[in-house]
């Protein structure tokens, strides 16, 4: 007989000066009332995950369209660069015609070019002027005036920019793939919740079943990097930390990179002495000069003899030379135009992803908790179990006020949770179990996010 009574003792013993209010026979009914509220919230959350999936599907379609536009822009840029290379090679074959004139000007151009570049570097950059000076002198001694005559550094800049754009797209594709995988993980887990527990819901979802289908095979321009996946994929074990943070750091880095490019390294750098420049542009220039002495060739407009090399024209001995130079300039301008177009597309893609992930984060915080129920085994009498209901001791400051009620519940697979309901709401009031269920679910969601 003692063994039979022991399980009931926690329900009947006084607690903290209060007393048990609800007999065990009533606890099951209260659990059923609370579970009904939880069922509705689970249904709403699964429909919210459906919204996430629908938004991600639309984003994926837009993404494929952007990739096609990027691919076409890249193709046209590469065609222009290839044409510029061909014209440069043709001009290089003709440089011997005016070689004597250009070489004489080059010998007078070099010291002025070195002095101008080093003066700028010493005034603008913090360290390394001695090493940069030696590198620059060696570079100039092994160069020819042809690099100035054909504006060759513009082609070098285009090729360098192409490498940066390729890396930038690869980073974007990595993050986009992780975003798709993260949303799919939440969606597939919610699919399991729906498939296992929808008979307990009061009404069908209406059209939701059709959304549960095998994920569409995605095709990406760049294969995902295992390094990136290992680094970021664990993030999706806790998706509520934010999809937005996948793209925010990359977007900020791209903004800085575009500001630096607009600072002038895709354009001539004449007029350094008087042209105002911000600190970001100056840091970029210092970095470029330290890495590549050819950057100093962009200061050729500061030296008269260097400018004269640009004006050398051998059309009298070779009329086709001027036409070749015009074709080279046209090809370079076209390639630069498509390079800027590619940058604009990448930037707009990132801006779109920032807006999309911000909305996905809102939906995930509101509804993503339901995906944690995928491996849950539901009790036959519902998701919410009420184990004890106690009346707290009266409030000594206001003895006339009804004492609050302490309710212990277990929601889903969480640990037992003690909740407090205001004393002016009787446990027999329908609002009582609604408040209990609301508090329990709010606590569960907070633990899920954390």
How high is the pLDDT of residue 211? 45
Partners of residue 418 on adjacent β-strands: 408
Q: How many CA atoms lie within 13 A of 158 on its CB side?
A: 26
Cα–Cα distances in Å, from 279 out to 125, 253, 262, 272, 297?
10, 16, 13, 14, 22
Indicate left, alpha or beta for 57 from its phi (over 0: left) and psi (-120 to 50: alpha): alpha
Cα–Cα distances in Å, from 36 out to 27, 203, 304, 333?
14, 12, 86, 68
> Are the C-beta atoms of 335 and 84 separated by less than 8 Å?
yes
Measured distance CA(177)–CA(179) in Å, rounded: 5
Measured distance CA(269)–CA(129) in Å, rounded: 19
- Encoded tokens for 417: 């949770």
> Are the C-beta atoms of 118 and 299 separated by less than 8 Å?
no
Q: With H, G, I as helix, E, B as strand and everything else as coil, classify residue 98.
A: helix
Measured distance CA(289)–CA(14) in Å, rounded: 81
> Are the C-beta atoms of 325 and 91 separated by less than 8 Å?
yes
Torsion of CA 376, 379, 382, 384, to 10 degrees: -70
Partners of residue 15 on adjacent β-strands: 18
Q: With H, G, I as helix, E, B as strand and everything else as coil, classify residue 275.
A: coil
How high is the pLDDT of residue 431? 94
Measured distance CA(118)–CA(155) in Å, rounded: 24
From first to last of its 450 residues, the chain has per-residue pLDDT tens of 333 333 333 443 344 445 566 777 789 999 999 999 999 999 999 999 999 999 999 999 999 999 999 999 999 999 999 998 898 888 777 666 566 777 888 888 889 988 888 888 888 887 677 788 888 888 787 777 776 766 666 777 788 888 889 998 998 898 899 899 999 999 999 988 888 776 554 444 444 444 444 444 444 444 444 433 333 333 344 444 568 777 766 555 555 555 555 544 344 344 444 444 556 566 667 777 777 777 787 788 888 888 887 777 665 556 677 788 788 889 999 999 999 999 999 989 988 888 888 889 888 889 999 988 888 776 667 899 999 898 887 776 777 778 889 999 999 888 999 999 998 898 889 999 999 999 999 999 888 765
pTM across the whole model: 0.69
DSSP 144: -
Q: With H, G, I as helix, E, B as strand and everything else as coil, classify residue 313.
A: coil
How high is the pLDDT of residue 188? 92
Measured distance CA(299)–CA(112) in Å, rounded: 10
310-319 contact pairs (CB < 8 A, 24+): 310/148, 310/149, 310/151, 312/98, 312/101, 312/102, 312/105, 312/149, 314/94, 314/97, 314/98, 317/97, 317/98, 318/94, 318/97
> Are the C-beta atoms of 181 and 236 separated by less than 8 Å?
yes
Indicate left, alpha or beta for 16 from its phi (over 0: left) and psi (-120 to 50: alpha): left
Cα–Cα distances in Å, from 323 out to 319, 334, 380?
8, 17, 86
pLDDT single digits (tens) 263-283: 443 443 444 444 445 565 666
- Encoded tokens for 325: 């130079």
> Are the C-beta atoms of 354 and 247 separated by less than 8 Å?
yes
Measured distance CA(117)–CA(182) in Å, rounded: 50
How high is the pLDDT of residue 40? 92
How high is the pLDDT of residue 9? 35
Buried b (16+ CB within 10 A) or exposed e, 94-119: bbeebeeebeebbeebbebbbebbbe
- Encoded tokens for 342: 């590619």
Torsion of CA 136, 139, 144, 150, to 10 degrees: -70
């Amino acid at each position: 007989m003692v063994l039979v009574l022991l399980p009931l003792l926690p329900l009947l013993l006084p607690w903290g000066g209060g007393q048990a209010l609800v007999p065990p026979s009533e606890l099951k009914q209260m659990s059923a009332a609370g579970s009904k509220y939880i069922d509705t919230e689970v249904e709403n959350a699964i429909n919210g995950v459906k919204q996430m999936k629908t938004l991600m599907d639309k984003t994926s379609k837009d993404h494929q369209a952007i990739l096609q536009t990027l691919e076409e822009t890249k193709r046209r840029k590469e065609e222009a660069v290839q044409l510029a290379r061909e014209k440069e090679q043709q001009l290089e074959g003709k440089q011997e015609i005016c070689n004597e004139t250009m070489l004489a000007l080059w010998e007078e151009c070099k010291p002025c070019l070195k002095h101008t570049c080093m003066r700028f570097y010493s005034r603008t950059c913090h360290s390394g002027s001695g090493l940069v000076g030696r590198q620059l002198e060696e570079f100039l001694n092994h160069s020819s005036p042809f690099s100035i005559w054909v504006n060759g550094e513009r082609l070098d800049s285009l090729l360098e920019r192409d490498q940066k754009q390729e890396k930038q797209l690869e980073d974007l594709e990595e993050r986009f793939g992780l975003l798709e995988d993260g949303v799919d993980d939440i969606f597939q887990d919610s699919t399991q919740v729906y498939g296992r527990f929808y008979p307990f819901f009061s009404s069908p979802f209406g059209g939701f079943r059709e959304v549960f289908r095998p994920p569409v095979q995605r095709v990406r321009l760049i294969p995902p990097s295992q390094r990136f996946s290992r680094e970021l994929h664990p993030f999706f074990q806790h998706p509520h930390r934010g999809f937005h943070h996948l793209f925010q750091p990359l977007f900020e880095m791209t903004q800085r990179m575009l500001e630096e490019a607009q600072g002038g390294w895709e354009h001539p750098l004449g007029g350094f002495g008087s042209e105002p420049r911000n600190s970001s542009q100056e840091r970029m220039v210092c970095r470029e000069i330290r890495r590549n002495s050819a950057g100093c060739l962009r200061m050729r407009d500061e030296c008269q003899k260097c400018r004269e090399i640009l004006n050398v024209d051998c059309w009298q001995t070779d009329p086709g030379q001027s036409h070749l130079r015009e074709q080279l300039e046209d090809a370079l301008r076209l390639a630069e135009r498509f390079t800027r177009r590619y940058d604009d597309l990448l930037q707009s893609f990132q801006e779109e992803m920032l807006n999309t992930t911000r909305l996905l984060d809102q939906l995930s915080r509101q509804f993503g908790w339901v995906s944690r129920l995928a491996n849950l085994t539901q009790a036959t009498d519902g998701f919410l179990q009420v184990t004890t209901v106690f009346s707290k001791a009266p409030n000594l400051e206001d003895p006339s006020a009804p004492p609050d009620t302490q309710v212990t519940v277990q929601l889903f697979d969480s640990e037992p949770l003690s909740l407090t309901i205001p004393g002016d709401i009787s446990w027999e009031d329908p609002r009582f179990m609604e408040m209990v269920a609301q508090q329990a679910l709010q606590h569960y969601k907070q633990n899920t996010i954390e």
